[in-house]
Structure 1
Amino acid sequence: MSQIENDLKLEIIKSVKKSFDLDIEMNDVIIELPKDVSHGDYASNIAMQLARTLKRKPKEIAESICSNLNLDIISSYEIAGPGFINIFLKNEYLAEVINLVLDQDEKYGHNNTGNGLKINIEYVSANPTGDLHPGHARGAALGDSVSRLLKMSGYDVTREYYVNDAGNQINNMALSLRARYFQEFNYDVEVPEDGYHGSDLIDIAKDLVSKVNDKYINYDEEEALIEFKKFGLEAELNKIKADLKAFNCEFDVFFSEQYIRDNKFVEKALNQLKDRGYTYEKDNALWLKTTSFNDDKDRVIVKSDGSYTYLTPDIAYHLNKLDRGYDKLVDVLGADHHSYVVRLKAAIQALGYEQDKLEVDIVQMARMIKDGEEFKLSKRSGKAVALIDLLDEVGSDALRYFFISRAADTQMDFDLDMAIKRSNENPVYYAQYAHARMCSILNSAKDIDISRKFNLISNEKELTLIKHINEFPKVVADAAYTRMPHKLCNYISKLAQYFHSFYGECKVLDYDNIPLSTQRLALVKASKITLKNALNSIGVSAPESM
């Protein structure tokens, strides 16, 4: 909630108490920005909300409320339609938002709506067997941006990557690396048909040879395979970490599936499910009663040969996260996991937790478009396009912004040509250019002190910009709560638009009117702080020159 919204709500609450001897709460009062500025700076429908309780006409209620409003901050009001209260604020009070921004600086936008709630957000979690693809990249942009917004909103956030370092895919990677290693010494060893044929393992094999030479040629095969697995896993994971860092995306925890298996967490989870009566045996397999929690059928968790299904270690992993004391778990998963969500949430409930302890955000795929056609193959490697290729094409800022500019659950076409355009058509360029212009204005006026009084601020463009700046903490809190960072892209676009509009109409540097210039420069600085903080909240840079 913004400071202005907070003040107006308190005024209305006091007026309702004075007018009707009725106590109402902050959440009962809705304050909105009218679409038409002629309808006031802010509006409330509180009179219509109270009509049933007070058994009076909304217009009568509105008149009573308005007659008891404190006019220290309000210049005028009007009652419109069936009982809307349109409020016009005093310009000088409205402009006090500028001082708030200047005082809070890089902390402007931070809020405590999260109230310290402990959240574990897991995203990307790609198998360490190759490059990250565009789907992983979109999930990374979303997960990292949501994490930033949650932290800004007072949540206690842990960013986690689940390393799938156990199971067949890792064995296949080790066998594939073994083949590439032997090929370096001209042995005729084929990569397994279901192995990994990408060029990255050739590079990893060369690196291994440079470190150990032919050490593993005559090694015991099983022991050598352990070494290939260890070396390959470390190399692939380091490559993923480097690519994510280049994408301005980092994690607090990399958690190993092998650790879950080695430390008997799977057995612990199975025993807990059995003890709670949600398992049964059928066809020599162990089944989980997921139909008790709205799944369309029960699921096998231990196969007839004693091996686990894909779901089982995941159940153990989520139990481990819950044992670590998190209030809420958030999984950011690809579109191919859509049907998986119900059974995973069912397992959480079978373990004895509420369904909403785990929330899942599904990220739809994005098609890469270049020169009007789908961009599928990397010029660098000749194989499927990877995150690193996209970074080479458009850079981290454009990639992140475009990926989160639409809701995660919607499919999107990403126009790579648009992302590198230096024009107002490109929303990233438009926003970053606005920030660079703000910096340029402030650098040009170093000889002019910035005012802390705003009695001369009165132009409609100035006031529209101020009101939008005032909305920033509220937008951050809402985007964090809903885990929808595209709301920040919408905010940033409008902020840049309102600033350009203000700058086009209002002369900022006017040496014939220094008092007005000092106040407008303060507004420029507040705009710069807000825009930089907004861009940072989604992991996009705010350049000072372009």
Structure 2
Amino acid sequence: MTPEQLSDAIVAALTSLVDAGRVTLPDPVPSQVRVERPKVKEHGDYATNIAMQLGKKAGMNPREFAELLAAELASTEGISAAEVAGPGFLNIRVSAGAQGEIARNVLEAGAAYGHGAPTGRSINMEFISANPTGPLHLGHTRWAAVGDAIARVMAAAGNEVTREFYINDRGNQMDKFGASLMARAHGEEPPEDGYHGAYVADLAARIVEADPGITSLPRDEQTIAFREAGYALQLAEHKSELAEFNTHFDVWFSERSLHESDAVERSLARLREQGRLFEAEGATWMRTTDFGDDKDRVLLRGNGELTYFASDTAYYVDKRDRGFETCIYLLGADHHGYVGRLNAMAACVGDTPGEQIEVLIGQLVKILQNGQELKLSKRAGTIVSLRELIDLIGVDPLRYTLIRYPTDSPLTLDVAEMTRKSNDNPVYYVQYAHARLSSIVRNAADLGLTADLESFDPSQLSEERSGALLRALAEFPRVVARAAELREPHRVARYLEETASTFHKFYDECRVLPQGDEEPTDTHRARLVLVAATRQVLANGLDLLGVSAPDRM
């Protein structure tokens, strides 16, 4: 019996009490009841405080209300006991057979276990959005892992999620990039305000190798040619590295396209119609202070140039016009000031911050190696690149470690700890549990045993360790739903670690396979089903983090 099924049983019991006139409530019976796993296992399998919530509304002492509800639940199939505790808590014990059915539910659902019903809600997730003028770095790496994991859990929760990368391919930084490449191609130093990493010389050499005649073009044409060729190479590198890092985007949106279409003009016209624009000092401003911004924002300068904020506004309007009900922005710590202005911008357009727009801020990450912070890159200069981090740490440990911590606090990680192959390393601990489960399934196959649901007798899973593991598996859908609701995929990682620990305790005390000439029993077969179900849940959870689930280690 899952927490959701138990909730349904409690709702049914409440409805029966109301229909029989034994309880009178001023409001309809709630459609669902929250049940939780007690911290003390002696208190039962699940607990609820619904009697304390409804007792006074029914004009009854909560404990008296709880006793009526306990008596009603006692006759419910799958519930072995319902006991009243304290001022009105209800502790519930589920029968072994009903609890064991959780393993069946997991295996029947397979890779879909933990996923919610479709919500029909269309969500745009924009993250990373790096300039195509240099390598992806450590700051981008945190959002590459966390942003992708948020998208995965939100999709698992039933939402239609589109991952989007906004390519900042317009503006002065692109011209400086082109000038820097051209300078390196001629053996010169880039402009002082240009790009100086060794990667610039590498890109310049590749461009010249592909098009030797580029250095003979007139200076102005040459700058543009280098800019466009460098842009294409750097963007391709971004896409390749992110794919290797198991982060994939549905849309790569070019800032240029906003200006090549009528998107900017449409957004300005809409804001003007809504009375959100005004003219002052020869420029066009948006009244963002009407919605809490610290100052109004210029969209069009007096010289006719559009500001970056004009592009930001047009981009948001474009997303909404494409049908996205919620637009989520994932920004780095140095963009904290953007939260207020983006929320105000959405409000100016007519939307509600927190509903149509969400802005999440991720704090800084430091990586230590041999006690020293990694700051310099041989290729990128003053930054540590994603490429170097992948080569140094590996995709799985890097992704998992970045995801398993809340993003709203700074993070310091150690290379040795992330790559250590021991149970002290969380990603290794979870992956090892999956590999151990896979080994049991393989060994069972050698004995002619499979996780056969037709012969599965869930009542055989009556030991406390089996019950604890089953209850852990039952929690997975709620963990996923909560992680999606709060945009906190680290909850999935922590759940996996706890479930791996619960499995190891089960395996230490409950022998799964027969030994020697021992004939397989129904208990062996039931435990094998539980093992297969646990393996499935760990695989599903690791997939939500974009981390592999190895069968052997």
TM over 0.5: yes
Corresponding residue for residue 130 of structure 1? 134
> Residues 77 and 86 of structure 1 are in contact (CA less than 8 Å); yes or no, is this contact kept in structure 2?
yes
Are residue 94 (structure 1) and residue 95 (structure 2) matched? no
> Residues 137 and 387 of structure 1 are in contact (CA less than 8 Å); yes or no, is this contact kept in structure 2?
yes
| Pair 1:262–1:387, CA change in 2 (3 A) | same
Match of 1:20 among 13, 20, 23: 23
> Residues 456 and 522 of structure 2 are in contact (CA less than 8 Å); yes or no, is this contact kept in structure 1?
no
- Which amino acid counterpart does residue 493 of structure 1 have in structure 2? E
| Pair 1:305–1:93, CA change in 2 (3 A) | same
194-203 vs 234-243, greater mean Cα deviation: 194-203
Matches within 5 A, 1:341-360: 341-355=339-353, 356-360=355-359
> Residues 197 and 381 of structure 2 are in contact (CA less than 8 Å); yes or no, is this contact kept in structure 1?
no
Matches within 5 A, 1:105-254: 105-112=110-117, 115-183=119-187, 189-213=188-212, 215-254=213-252
Structure 2 CA distance, aligned partners of 1:26 and 1:110? 23
> Residues 11 and 31 of structure 2 are in contact (CA less than 8 Å); yes or no, is this contact kept in structure 1?
no
TM-score, normalised to structure 1, is: 0.95
Structure 1 CA distance, aligned partners of 2:434 and 2:465? 18
How far apart are residue 25 of structure 1 and its match? 4.2
Are residue 528 (structure 1) and residue 529 (structure 2) matched? no
Corresponding residue for residue 516 of structure 1? 523
Structure 1 CA distance, aligned partners of 2:28 and 2:450? 44
Structure 1 CA distance, aligned partners of 2:462 and 2:541? 25
| Pair 1:476–1:60, CA change in 2 (3 A) | same
- Which amino acid counterpart does residue 4 of structure 1 have in structure 2? Q
Structure 2 CA distance, aligned partners of 1:15 and 1:59? 18
Structure 2 CA distance, aligned partners of 1:528 and 1:30? 27
- Which amino acid counterpart does residue 227 of structure 1 have in structure 2? A
1:307-326 Cα distance to aligned partner (Å, 9 max, x none): 22221111111111111011
Match of 1:495 among 499, 506, 523: 499
> Residues 4 and 94 of structure 1 are in contact (CA less than 8 Å); yes or no, is this contact kept in structure 2?
no
| Pair 1:208–1:353, CA change in 2 (3 A) | same
Partner of 2:120: helix, strand, or coil? coil
393-402 vs 17-26, greater mean Cα deviation: 17-26
Corresponding residue for residue 340 of structure 1? 338
Matches within 5 A, 1:48-447: 48-69=52-73, 70-112=75-117, 115-183=119-187, 189-213=188-212, 215-355=213-353, 356-378=355-377, 383-446=382-445, 447=448
> Residues 151 and 161 of structure 2 are in contact (CA less than 8 Å); yes or no, is this contact kept in structure 1?
yes
| Pair 1:221–1:379, CA change in 2 (3 A) | closer
- Which amino acid counterpart does residue 59 of structure 1 have in structure 2? R
Partner of 2:191: helix, strand, or coil? coil
Are residue 38 (structure 1) and residue 42 (structure 2) matched? yes
1:485-509 Cα distance to aligned partner (Å, 9 max, x none): 0110111111111011111111111
Partner of 2:216: helix, strand, or coil? coil
189-198 vs 24-33, greater mean Cα deviation: 24-33
How far apart are residue 470 of structure 1 and its match? 0.5
Unaligned runs of 5+ in 2: none
Structure 2 CA distance, aligned partners of 1:27 and 1:167? 54
> Residues 15 and 65 of structure 1 are in contact (CA less than 8 Å); yes or no, is this contact kept in structure 2?
no
Structure 1 CA distance, aligned partners of 2:352 and 2:531? 48
> Residues 376 and 382 of structure 2 are in contact (CA less than 8 Å); yes or no, is this contact kept in structure 1?
yes
Partner of 2:442: helix, strand, or coil? helix
Structure 2 CA distance, aligned partners of 1:419 and 1:194? 37
RMSD: 1.7
1:290-332 Cα distance to aligned partner (Å, 9 max, x none): 1100112222222232222221111111111111011110001
- Which amino acid counterpart does residue 401 of structure 1 have in structure 2? Y
- Which amino acid counterpart does residue 547 of structure 2 have in structure 1? V
- Which amino acid counterpart does residue 95 of structure 2 have in structure 1? K
Unaligned runs of 5+ in 1: 184-188
The count of corresponding residues between Structure 1 and Structure 2 is 539
- Which amino acid counterpart does residue 503 of structure 1 have in structure 2? Y
Q: Percent identity?
A: 41
How far apart are residue 30 of structure 1 and its match? 2.0
Structure 1 CA distance, aligned partners of 2:525 and 2:457? 9
1:105-144 Cα distance to aligned partner (Å, 9 max, x none): 11111112x5120001000001011111111000111110
Structure 1 CA distance, aligned partners of 2:32 and 2:216? 77
> Residues 2 and 473 of structure 1 are in contact (CA less than 8 Å); yes or no, is this contact kept in structure 2?
no
Partner of 1:359: helix, strand, or coil? strand
> Residues 9 and 26 of structure 1 are in contact (CA less than 8 Å); yes or no, is this contact kept in structure 2?
no
Structure 2 CA distance, aligned partners of 1:7 and 1:516? 29
1:319-353 Cα distance to aligned partner (Å, 9 max, x none): 11111011110001111111111111111111122
Partner of 2:268: helix, strand, or coil? helix
Corresponding residue for residue 186 of structure 1? none
35-44 vs 352-361, greater mean Cα deviation: 352-361
- Which amino acid counterpart does residue 418 of structure 2 have in structure 1? A
> Residues 47 and 89 of structure 2 are in contact (CA less than 8 Å); yes or no, is this contact kept in structure 1?
yes
How far apart are residue 15 of structure 1 and its match? 4.0
Structure 2 CA distance, aligned partners of 1:448 and 1:216? 67
- Which amino acid counterpart does residue 538 of structure 1 have in structure 2? L
How far apart are residue 271 of structure 1 and its match? 2.2
Match of 1:461 among 451, 460, 465: 465
How far apart are residue 176 of structure 1 and its match? 0.9
1:10-54 Cα distance to aligned partner (Å, 9 max, x none): 343334434325574445522111111111111111111112211
1:51-72 Cα distance to aligned partner (Å, 9 max, x none): 2211110111111112222332
- Which amino acid counterpart does residue 160 of structure 1 have in structure 2? E
Structure 1 CA distance, aligned partners of 2:151 and 2:417? 27
1:420-439 Cα distance to aligned partner (Å, 9 max, x none): 11111100000000000000
Partner of 2:186: helix, strand, or coil? helix
Structure 2 CA distance, aligned partners of 1:375 and 1:473? 38
277-286 vs 160-169, greater mean Cα deviation: 277-286
Structure 2 CA distance, aligned partners of 1:9 and 1:137? 45
How far apart are residue 2 of structure 1 and its match? 4.6
Structure 2 CA distance, aligned partners of 1:380 and 1:301? 37
Structure 2 CA distance, aligned partners of 1:138 and 1:48? 43
- Which amino acid counterpart does residue 534 of structure 1 have in structure 2? G
> Residues 204 and 232 of structure 1 are in contact (CA less than 8 Å); yes or no, is this contact kept in structure 2?
yes
| Pair 1:312–1:380, CA change in 2 (3 A) | closer
